[in-house]
Amino acid sequence: PPPPPPTDPPSKNPKRSSQNPKVSHLLHASTLRNPRWTYFHLAFVPTTPDPPGVGADLDPLTARTHLTTPLAQFLGTHGASISIDILKIEGREVWVRVPAEDGKIVGAGLAGWVGKSG
């Protein structure tokens, strides 16, 4: 039998790009070289269980005390004067914001601290 007749390769459609209107274009991109803030997500973990009837949730005043005490022990008056903004409290978790220049010392002061009750 004779070979089949040659077939033309599929033609490339020049209108292909117009068929996909969902193509996005980047208008602007930037990188913050010197951010103003450092953010921490902290969890307070007690070493002893809570006594019955005592709530496990933190309030803003208790959270502030738990944050200021280790910084005062680590850096003295300078540590106690670091500006700490409490952004959110949920149960025993706290989200805080500190100035970027103090971020490393706050992390170091809080990282290894164990209080009287945990």
Residue-wise pLDDT tens for the chain (118 aa)? 677 766 666 655 555 555 556 677 888 888 878 889 999 999 988 777 766 656 678 899 989 998 999 999 999 999 999 999 999 999 999 999 999 999 999 999 998 777 665 4
**Where in the chain are the domains?**
37-46+56-112
Contact (CB, 8 A) for 68 and 3: no
Phi, psi angle pair for 88, to nearest 5°: -160, 140
**The dihedral of CA 108, 112, 114, 118: what is its sign?**
positive
Spatial neighbors of 56 by CB under 8 A, at least 6 apart, are 50, 91, 92
0.85 exceeded by pTM: no
